[in-house]
Amino acid sequence: MSRNKKLEFVVVAAAAAATLLTICGLDVGGDTYNVPAVSETGVTLDATGSVRVIPDGVQFNFSVFALEGPSKSASEGANILANQARSALDSFKINKKDIATTNVSVYPEYSYSQDGKQSLNGFRATQSFAVTLRDTENSGSVVDAVVVIVGTDLTIETLAPILIDNKDAAKQARENAIKLAKAKAEDYADLLGVDLGDVISVREFATTPSVPQPWLRDVASSVESAKTVIDLGAQEVSITVEVHWAFKR
CATH number at residue 103: 3.30.70.2970
| Same domain for 172 and 154 | no
| Same domain for 170 and 157 | no
Domain termination site, one of 124, 144, 162: 162
| Same domain for 105 and 67 | yes
User: What are the residues whose beta carbons fall under 8 Å from the beta carbon of 185, sequence distance 6 or more?
Assistant: 43, 45, 196, 243, 245
Indicate the number of domains in the chain.
Answer: 3
Domain around 110: 57-162
Q: What is the pTM of this model?
A: 0.69
| Same domain for 112 and 198 | no
Identify which of 88-97, 111-120, 207-216 has the greatest average pLDDT.
88-97
Distances (CA, A) of 200 to 44, 101, 106, 162, 197: 9, 47, 58, 36, 9
Domain termination site, one of 132, 162, 192: 162
Condensed to tens digits (0 to 9), the pLDDT of residues 220-245 reads: 333 455 788 899 999 999 999 999 99
Could you tell me where the beta strands, DSSP code E, fall in the chain?
A: 42-53, 57-68, 99-112, 118-133, 154-162, 195-207, 215-217, 229-231, 235-248
Query: CATH code at 192?
Result: 3.30.110.170
Distances (CA, A) of 53 to 56, 146, 159, 168: 9, 28, 19, 10
> What pLDDT score does 210 carry?
54
Condensed to tens digits (0 to 9), the pLDDT of residues 159-193 reads: 999 999 999 999 999 999 999 999 999 999 999 99
| Same domain for 177 and 237 | yes
Per DSSP, the three-state class of 202 is strand
